């Protein structure tokens, strides 16, 4: 069962107000029949009441210093409330009827398909694709990051059945969208077990690495995955994880070199130095190195010659709605 943060229900919205305003606002709410609760300097209401309160505060020029939050999430300044309302379209999108999964191949040095990165794509009511650069910011503003991460992760696990033989699926997840591994990831584990999918075929890939402040929390998540037989990868290594000590603590089975160090690496000595240092670290940690963002044969050949084991990028294939029929590229 999904928690309140993962469910697409109308949020409870709490406002932090000047105590002198509470009597005035309470009378306004009673007059218009809005449901609300008041405790100290906090007023909680539903979205309809919140929109009315926002309009009232703006019209009366009383918005200065007012904050709001959704359910039990972080506080925001009232200036961002308009963006919250404008992002309400995402509430009707976050279901599997609007979700498809695209597959981008990850290959070995000889061209054999090792697996795929599974990339979520949402469609609007007209069938148009809503790309991640639009849906993720909207989800964050709307307080739907938990729900977005959950539905994408669960749907991706189901797609492993569509892959050949022992091909693996790389599934992105946002650590900050998982507050309790045992609770938040239980459904994911149950789906894999119900479909008899070998957990070793599922590799959960940490995204938003540069935004991770709580490494202990991340380690708890990765420990849960490992305990249940799953594997994991660190994305964008070289950007988000800048110390060997951190990498040693996380001990990733797979490490993905940030694509900004891959594009043009065959002719760029500075990128080559980073790529070689990354490779040395991967070997030290006994991790499998993966270079993503390969677009030319020259970059592929250079990385392959150095000893990289896995490769991903437009050179091998763009994300497609179906996995390839062949086992080699």
Written as tens digits, the pLDDT of the chain (329 aa) is: 455 555 556 789 999 999 888 989 999 999 999 999 999 999 999 999 999 999 999 999 999 999 999 987 889 999 999 999 999 999 999 988 899 999 999 999 999 999 999 999 999 989 899 988 899 999 999 989 989 999 999 999 999 999 998 999 999 988 888 878 888 788 899 999 999 999 999 999 988 654 667 888 899 999 999 999 999 999 877 655 556 777 888 899 999 998 999 999 999 999 999 999 999 999 999 999 999 999 999 999 999 999 999 999 999 999 999 999 999 99
pLDDT at site 174:
86
How many other C-beta atoms can be found within 10 angstroms of the C-beta atom of residue 53?
26
- Give the helix/strand (H/E) hosting 302: helix 297-306
Report all structural domains of the chain as residue ranges with CATH numbers, in order of start: 13-89 (no CATH), 93-312 (3.20.20.450)
End-to-end CA gap in the chain? 41
pLDDT of residue 305: 99
- pTM above the 0.95 mark? no
Residue 172 sits at the vertex; the CA angle it makes with 171 and 173, to the nearest 5 degrees, is: 120
SS3 112: strand
Distance CA 99, CA 121 (A): 6
The answer to whether 169 and 163 are in contact (CB under 8 A) is yes
The closest alpha carbon to 254, from 226, 273, 276, 274, belongs to 226
The predicted structure's pLDDT at residue 72: 79
Quick count: other Cβ atoms within 10 Å of Cβ 279?
Answer: 19
DSSP state of 239: T
DSSP 80: G
Q: Where are the beta strands (DSSP E) in the chain?
A: 13-16, 36-39, 42-45, 67-70, 76-77, 99-108, 113-123, 129-130, 168-173, 202-206, 231-237, 254-257, 288-292, 310-312
- State how far Cα 53 lies from the chain centre: 32
**What's the residue count for the chain?**
329
- Residue 45 and residue 61: Cα distance in Å, rounded? 21
């Amino acid at each position: 069962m999904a928690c309140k943060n993962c469910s697409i229900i109308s949020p409870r919205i709490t406002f932090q107000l000047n105590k002198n305003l509470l009597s005035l606002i309470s009378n306004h709410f009673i007059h218009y029949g809005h449901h609300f609760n008041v405790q100290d300097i906090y007023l909680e209401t539903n979205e309809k009441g919140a929109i009315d309160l926002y309009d009232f505060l703006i019209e009366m020029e009383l918005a200065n210093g007012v904050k709001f939050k959704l359910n039990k999430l972080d506080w925001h300044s009232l200036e961002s409330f308009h963006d919250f309302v404008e992002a309400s379209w995402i509430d009707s999108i976050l279901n599997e009827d609007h979700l498809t999964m695209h597959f981008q191949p990850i290959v070995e040095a000889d061209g054999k398909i090792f697996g795929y990165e599974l990339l979520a794509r949402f469609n609007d009511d007209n069938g148009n694709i809503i790309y991640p650069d639009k849906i993720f910011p909207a989800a964050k503003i709307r307080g739907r990051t938990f729900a977005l991460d959950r539905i994408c992760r669960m749907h991706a696990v189901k797609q492993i059945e569509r892959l050949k033989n022992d091909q693996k699926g790389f599934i992105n997840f946002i650590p900050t969208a998982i507050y309790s591994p045992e609770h938040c990831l239980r459904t994911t584990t149950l789906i894999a077990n119900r479909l008899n999918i070998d957990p070793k075929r599922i590799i959960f890939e940490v995204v938003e690495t540069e935004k991770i402040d709580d490494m202990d929390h991340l380690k708890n998540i990765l420990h849960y995955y490992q305990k249940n037989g799953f594997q994991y990868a660190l994305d964008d290594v070289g950007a988000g994880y800048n110390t060997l000590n951190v990498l040693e603590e996380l001990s990733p089975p797979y490490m993905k070199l940030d694509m900004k160090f891959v594009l043009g690496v065959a002719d760029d000595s500075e990128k080559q130095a980073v790529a070689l240092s990354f490779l040395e670290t991967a070997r030290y940690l006994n991790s499998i190195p993966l270079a993503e963002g390969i677009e030319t044969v020259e970059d592929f050949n250079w990385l392959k010659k150095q000893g990289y084991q896995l490769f991903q990028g437009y050179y091998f294939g763009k994300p497609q709605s179906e996995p390839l029929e062949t086992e080699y590229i």
